[in-house]
Amino acid sequence: MTYRQHQGLADGRDLFYYDLAEDADRVATDTRELPETATSSQIRWDPLFSEWAVIAGHRQSRTYKPPVSLCPLCPSKDGKATEIPAADYDVAVFENRFPSLATESAESFAVVEDFPFSSGPGTGRCEVVCFTSDHDTSFAQLSQQHARTVIDALADRTAELSRLPEVEYVFCFENRGEEIGVTLSHPHGQIYGYPFVPPRMLRAAKAAADYRDEHGDCLRCELLRQEIKAGDRIISRTEHWTALVPFAARWPYEARLIANRHVGSLPELTEDERDDLARSYLDLLQRFDRLFDTPTPYIAGWHQAPVRQFADSWHLGTEVFTIRRAAGKLKYLAGSESGAAVWINDVTPESAAARLRGD
């Protein structure tokens, strides 16, 4: 069981502690004198490609690659006050001080509706998830019980952010490794509460809804059944979860961890499913780290149901991929990928699955 405690930071932002032990007393005074943040996010509509872009010029001043001694995600100790006032913690979640989206953005920008220009305030919520107080570890090295606490925290925050009227999609993700562009090396992830459904998720949601309307079944359930039948792209299977490389993988090493039961979002998982997810997710991350001689840079993101639509046809899964295609070589998103959004993969999904299985 996971135990939650809440406190406010010096500038009024929320901080939540998630602990394995009921008697963990984490709440401590934030002694910093923090100036008020100025959030100036906008969302702007691109009518040509039918998608939103977030404009957040204030993020240029965010913290960038501080030394370990000044890490803002470590606990506050020895007179060094950080974003985490407590001297220790298991998992901590707090509002980002330099958010791409924020509720107060509604006060900064008026809605513009003058075709072809359409924009509005970048309302939403951005939170930072500190997986552990240990600066020198990674998610893959957490204990199963600790990983389960992270999953509980993500599920709790998903449920809370989904209640905000301005949030249409909750995306939990982790960027790991300097090659990915990580600016804080402490093990952490993020949660974005978008005021719209992101383009990729919207396309997937519409495809799933169309399939359900035509066939009366879940598209991902059918994909999962067929992948299990084919077998050569399956990485591992447990009672509640299946890890596989998708048939049309875009990245050199890309995997999806899919719930065996038709379920839409993290808060809907049973206790047994969460326990099994902790085991399965750790196993998958450890497989990625065995691909190369050095820790594998990756992006991991949870594909959950949109908040207010497509709930019945959505099927929960997580995606993990690396931009490293071989030792010392990265997969760059060049002309075809960045310009035309057509991925060209140098590694076949079947051979990637074999390497992740350890064959």
Give me the active site residues, please: 188
Q: Phi, psi (5° rounding) for residue 134? A: -80, 110
Q: Where are the beta strands (DSSP E) in 2-101?
A: 3-8, 14-19, 42-46, 51-55, 91-95
Residues 152, 269: Cα–Cα separation, whole Å: 10
- Token digits of residue 126: 């951005």
Which residues pair with residue 102 across a beta bridge? none
Which residues pair with residue 75 across a beta bridge? 84
CA 15-21-24 angle, 5° bins: 55
Task: Sort strands 112-114 and 234-237 into parallel, antiparallel or unpaired.
Answer: unpaired
Amino acid in position 214: E
The contacts found for 210-216 with CB under 8 angstroms, 24 or more apart, are: 211/313, 212/312, 212/313
